[in-house]
Structure 1
Amino acid sequence: MRNPTVAVMALVVVAALTACGGGSPQQAMESAGSGAAAPVAHRPGAMLAYEHHAQVALPAERIVQRLQQVQAACNDNRFGACTVLDVSQQGGDHPSASLSVRVVPAGVDPLIALAGKDGEIGSRRTHAEDLAVVVRDNNLAQQRLQNERTQLLAFQQRRDLAVADMIALSQQLAQVEAQLQAAEQEGAQHRLRIDTQKLTIRFEPPRGQSGRSEIGQAVRDFGRTLSAGTAWTIRAAAFLIPVAAVLLIVVLVIRRLRRRRGGR
């Protein structure tokens, strides 16, 4: 009677070898399974994930309103498919705000233009990450896992398998399907980063207004600063008085000793 464990291990090895020899790398990329389509770049041969950073100078009192306008434009898909990723704002004497979105390439410039309307668009930076290698590797991994799953399903249909072999095949099949699902999710994330672009806009008041705000804050803090300085001076005096008394005693003792020596 044959060993069930040896038999199922042989089946798994045959499945893995068949999956690895299932086609050339180019064929694997062209026939990646239904979970992820073949990569299509914005330009032939390019699989780039773009990130944009723009800084907009606006009067402090208009920052929140403009932030809400740009956020609403993204939520309404006014310039194409758009998703808000992060929103933050800071009030007080140094107001600022920032907005991060993921938008189709055609919507990047219109959103920046809306953010800088009646204001000043300052620095702007664009960064691109090349995903060609990771996309290729992910498609190859998906193809390999799909071939392995197909082989395991075929072995599972055999009627001459023992119960132990069926259990082992089911466990192996579950592992392969979990790995395939993770690879498909990773491929979908790559596709999203290629098809859409991340845009971060930061709103700040003009430099002149920021300087005036700092001066005004300093004037408002005058009383508090004066109180703190006075309190520090009092504490310093309280600390130095005993030190000065000890030094005075030491000086008097030294002078007296010198006088005695001079008299002798």
Structure 2
Amino acid sequence: MRHLAGKLASKPRIYWLLLASFALSGCGPSERSSSASLAGEQGRGGAMLAYEHDVQLKLPEPQIVPRLQASREACETAKFGACNVLRIEQGAGRAEITLRIVPAGIEPLVAMAAEGGELGQRITTAEDLADAVDNTRRQQERLKAQQQRLDELASRRDISVSDLVVLSKEQASIENDLQALAQVAAGHQRRLDTNRITLSFEPTAASNRASNLNRAFSNLLDNLADGAVDALEKGSYVLPFLILAFPLLMLWVWLWRKFVRRRT
């Protein structure tokens, strides 16, 4: 009876252990997929940080160009939020695209670009723009104060025409400087509101080996022809020496035979 009671008491524990193992196995893939993703970043707590990401994506070589085009189209159509294409580079078996996109669009963009492949190296860096933003703001405030003083002088009734001309030139110069600073400030804000990301598409190891073999076989005839041409060119340098050496060799053989006959 005690043995049977012990079995019945131990069953709930076994059920709980099985449920816990199922829960852990169910959470495992999601945790791995989240660790393989890349989320956008934005400064918190008043920090003025401009984030940049460099992501390496390994794909079968035939998928690299279509995935590059899909990433470009997703950016140009703002599929994952406001986005701009900054740079595109294509080479033998690889491609690279640099975008500027809102932080919320980083994760779905990378997930789409890496579909069917795997994420490689991921680097995230941040540049502190606090000093640059403060410097631009101080210059704007200084120029606006000067602009206000010039406006007050220009509104005086006793100002001469020559002084008014000089003031007009100063006002135009300050206005140009303010417009330039406004563009700088807009650039700073754009870097704070968006993330710069570079997606580097590279072939997988298996795809790279297959590509190298195909390239080697496809270039076999060309390599043989190039090797034959190189051999002929090098042989043409040696041929004149052989032509000169042959008579000398025959002369040496004749003299040797003549010397041997005299001794015999």
User: TM-score category by the smaller chain?
Assistant: 0.7 to 0.9
Opposite residue 100 of structure 1, the aligned amino acid is T
Q: 1:78: Cα distance to partner?
A: 3.0
Structure of larger gyration radius: 2
Q: 1:130: Cα distance to partner?
A: 1.2
- 2:150 corresponds in structure 1 to 152
Cα deviations across residues 46-77 of structure 1 (Å, max 9, x unaligned)? Answer: 21111111111111222232223322332333
Question: So what's the TM-score if we normalise by structure 2?
Answer: 0.74
- 1:234 corresponds in structure 2 to 232
Opposite residue 202 of structure 2, the aligned amino acid is E
Q: CA contact under 8 A between 2:59 and 2:117: conserved in structure 1?
A: yes
- 1:53 corresponds in structure 2 to 54
Q: Hey, what's the Cα distance between the residues in 2 that align with 1:253 and 1:133?
A: 89
CA gap 1:154/1:240 in 2 versus in 1, 3 angstroms: same
Q: 1:247: Cα distance to partner?
A: 5.6
Q: Hey, what's the Cα distance between the residues in 2 that align with 1:250 and 1:173?
A: 95
Question: So what's the TM-score if we normalise by structure 1?
Answer: 0.74
Q: Hey, what's the Cα distance between the residues in 2 that align with 1:127 and 1:247?
A: 70
Query: What SS class does the counterpart of residue 199 from structure 2 fall into?
Result: strand
Query: What SS class does the counterpart of residue 75 from structure 2 fall into?
Result: helix
Q: 1:146: Cα distance to partner?
A: 0.6
Cα deviations across residues 131-175 of structure 1 (Å, max 9, x unaligned)? Answer: 111111000000000110011011000111111101111111111
Opposite residue 87 of structure 2, the aligned amino acid is D
- 2:112 corresponds in structure 1 to 114
The percent of aligned pairs where both chains have the same amino acid is 36
Q: 1:223: Cα distance to partner?
A: 1.0
Cα deviations across residues 195-219 of structure 1 (Å, max 9, x unaligned)? Answer: 1111111212212211221121111
- 1:72 corresponds in structure 2 to 73
Structure 1 segments (4+ residues) deviating >4 Å: 245-256
Of the structure 1 ranges 47-56 and 66-75, higher mean CA displacement relative to structure 2 is found in 66-75
Query: What SS class does the counterpart of residue 158 from structure 2 fall into?
Result: coil
- 1:96 corresponds in structure 2 to 94
Cα deviations across residues 24-44 of structure 1 (Å, max 9, x unaligned)? Answer: xxxxxxxxxxxxxxxxx7312
Q: 1:251: Cα distance to partner?
A: 8.0
Q: Hey, what's the Cα distance between the residues in 1 that align with 2:252 and 2:167?
A: 98
- 2:207 corresponds in structure 1 to 209
CA gap 1:252/1:133 in 2 versus in 1, 3 angstroms: farther
**Relative contact order: is structure 1 or structure 2 higher (C-alpha 8 Å, sep ≥ 6)?**
1
Q: Hey, what's the Cα distance between the residues in 1 that align with 2:244 and 2:69?
A: 66
Q: Hey, what's the Cα distance between the residues in 1 that align with 2:249 and 2:240?
A: 14
Query: What SS class does the counterpart of residue 108 from structure 1 fall into?
Result: helix
Q: How many residues are paired up?
A: 216
Q: Hey, what's the Cα distance between the residues in 2 that align with 1:131 and 1:164?
A: 43
Q: 1:106: Cα distance to partner?
A: 1.7
- 1:23 corresponds in structure 2 to none
Q: CA RMSD in A?
A: 2.5
Q: Which has the higher helix share?
A: 2
Of the structure 1 ranges 166-175 and 227-236, higher mean CA displacement relative to structure 2 is found in 227-236
Cα deviations across residues 175-228 of structure 1 (Å, max 9, x unaligned)? Answer: 111111111110110110111111111212212211221121111111111111
Opposite residue 160 of structure 1, the aligned amino acid is D
Opposite residue 163 of structure 2, the aligned amino acid is D
Of the structure 1 ranges 68-77 and 197-206, higher mean CA displacement relative to structure 2 is found in 68-77
Q: Hey, what's the Cα distance between the residues in 2 that align with 1:46 and 1:98?
A: 30
